[in-house]
Structure 1
Amino acid sequence: MTTHALPVPDLMLSEMTDGWFRSAAFLWMKANHDTLAQALGKKRISWERVCDWFAQLGLTDRSGKTPTQRNARETWYTVRKVVAREKAAQEATRLETLRLEAERESEKAAIQAEIRQRREAKALEKAALRDKMEQVGRDVARRVQAQTETQTIAGVTDHEQPASSDVASQENVPQEQVRVRIGEVARVVRMRTQAPRYGRDRDIPLPPPYVGPRPAGMPEDLPLEALMPLDAPGLDDKGMYDFKQLPGMPRRSFYDNERQWLVDCMAMIKAIPPAERPPALKAMGPWLATRLGPSYRG
């Protein structure tokens, strides 16, 4: 048998954990501490009889001799101190473990509370944005309805006035010569509406409403809500002209069809004399022509 394969004696392990040079009597007392302490309690111990038992059991002191009464008493005193110290260390370790577990649980609860608060805040933000979008939609619908009613009334008035003037001019004409216009139906313009928005576009708020008169060249069926407000920046993040959101021009987000947007923008630009066009529209005109292609005959 090689030396490195020799087994480690249990007594050696016990001595290594308790410290070297512990006597056999010490190790025996320590191993049976709880039993001895419970049995002896506060009773007076006969160390003479204890030494006799040590001799019968072969328990010796560090010099290999049977312990004396004094040595046995001091050994028992030392054993009690060592055991008390070890139990105190074990209790401290247990309490530290409990403290660490409590800290982990507290941190876990704090993280969960923070996550819950973030989710609630996000839900509230989405709800507020949804309410705002719905309110904007209602406002837009009311404006469209008001514009439609106004234009309908204006169309009816334009068609009725000539007939009224004709009748007024013919008041003195004999009844059989008066020609009554019948069957004329007022022309109603059906205004376009905001194109449906999908995905992330639904969360982007619509721009503020356009305030001002209808610009020249604006298609009659295009509502004012399709125009960008006059105070819109009209520039992108790089400081370049943002043709899709120029002040007073149709915004691209209103349209479902890009070509229709290009045509409407071109019509409004052409309605402005070239000398009066601002730099943004002068730059936008050629860009629109390129996008529309040679097939455009506007």
Structure 2
Amino acid sequence: MAATGIGISGAIGALENVSGAMSLRVWMEANREELLRAWNGRRLNWQALCAWFKDVGLTNADGQAPTVRCAKMTWYRAGKTLAARKDRAVAEADGPSRDQAARRTVAPTDKARSGPSDEEIFALMAEADNEERRNRERRERIAGYEAQRRTMAESNGGGVQSEAPVEATQSEPAPLETATRPRVKIGQIANHVTMLKQAPRYGADRDKPLPPPYVGPRPDGMPEYLPLDALMPLDATGRQPDGRIDYEALPGLPRRSFFERDRDWAKACIPMVEAIPHEDRSLILRGLLMRARDLMKTLY
């Protein structure tokens, strides 16, 4: 087929100007976009194009007539070259505005490097104060328990001197109920506490059996109004039937089925988890604390 039969006037003019002296890649870089516009997205017939390239003298880098594979690769590389040229042109055109934007971001960057903001500092200080308060309360509780044990040991001994009072006290510890009982202060009015009861169960929940009772000491941080039967037993699996973590039924923590509302359950969980030192909290306990705090925020 003659060159004039292709029907692309721009390509014919370019070919007439170079008279076959131009390489295939240079021609593609000069005419690729025009050919694509004229062909309007239709598929290129590379067999016909390679025959035309041979007729007009367009060759590859080795001076040979290009094959279909060679022509396609050259076409692809020409497209990448043109795209890179456009990107460089855009970058050069946008250079001044980009420099101005970079200068505008210098101040925030320097501020970020200078340290945390006042709000972040206050939040860190509040968290540190809360952690110290919890540790102090825990130390005071332990000290109170030790004082109660010593008082009980002295009252049980009476006026009789024991040959080994320390060993006797260690071998016969005071009962747990007595050891953990608050110290009596004369004239002190007791706090009025109304123990919470199991929430009513409706529908299918009524037929679900309650978990076994909790057996063990009253955990630290447990609200006074909460009975022990609100806790899951220590040997509970803490998992749902499909194997996922069941945050609403963790061992030794309040079970969701005891409460009528999510907020009440979250309110009971938070102090019990916070009573555990931060370094001793497992990932599951941290996840429970996050869930409970989120419920308190969204439900207030």
TM-score, reference length from structure 1: 0.38
Which one has a bigger Cα radius of gyration? 1
